[in-house]
Amino acid sequence: MCKLQVIQACLLCLLRGSVALPLNCADESSSPVPCTSISQDKLLDRVTQHAEFIYRITEEVCNQYEELYIPYPLRGLKNQGGGTCTSMSFPNLGSKTEIQQISDMRLLHYMLILAQSWVEPLTYLQSSLKNNDHAPDTLVSQLKWVSDKLTRLEQGVVLLISMMQEEGGAAPPPAALQQALSEPQLGVPDSIFHEYNSLMCLKKDAHKMETLLKLLKCRQTDRLSCTL
């Protein structure tokens, strides 16, 4: 755990520097910072790093929350009030074999939707924690950080999609994907379990994104970490 925290800190430092550059170089007028074009591999690396960081921070937030509010027997138990984080109806991403059958573009789209779906709940979560006055400030600030990084990740994924679309990848209609995702059932709003379930779902989705991106990275490039 100590080692993880060190790596996490290093990654945070890296990301804070690395995410300063705007990802979308096409829109030059929007930002005063000069846009530098980035290669697809590097962009994929950056996005993957974002996902790793998001997962680590979210895991830490969950653990803190558990220790503060959740009695031990109930830990790990989700959905006290029933419901799932995301619908299973979307192309089944439950197993490796299933995922390996999905194309890169679809994966990217999925991740985009996933990232977009969390923007609003995160805002809600932060306000909920602030309003209740029971969460320490570190939790709130970390959630804020996660929210920011998620936004950047989303931007990166958008850029990747555009890059890959130029290569000739077929894009599924976004509307269909949007409908596939059901509203997560998190329980009674403004309750402890609601927040806890929300955090747990966030953590899971972050892990999912990280795994998918790593898979995507190995597919796209010939990397030593994949071949060995």
Interface positions with another protein (CB under 8 A)? 52, 55, 76-79, 82-84, 88, 93-97, 100, 204-205, 207-208, 211, 214-219, 223-228
At closest approach, how far in Å is the CB of 222 from another protein?
11
At closest approach, how far in Å is the CB of 218 from another protein?
3
| Residue 187: both structure tokens together | 């329980």
Burial class (CB in 10 A: 0-12, 13-18, 19+), 102: middle
| Residue 110: both structure tokens together | 């999925």
CA–CA separation, 139 and 195 (whole Å): 12
At closest approach, how far in Å is the CB of 35 from another protein?
30
| Residue 5: both structure tokens together | 């925290």
Task: Give 37 or 225: the residue with its C-beta nearer to another protein.
Answer: 225
Task: Give 161 or 200: the residue with its C-beta nearer to another protein.
Answer: 200
CA–CA separation, 95 and 115 (whole Å): 20
| Residue 155: both structure tokens together | 């931007």
At closest approach, how far in Å is the CB of 214 from another protein?
5
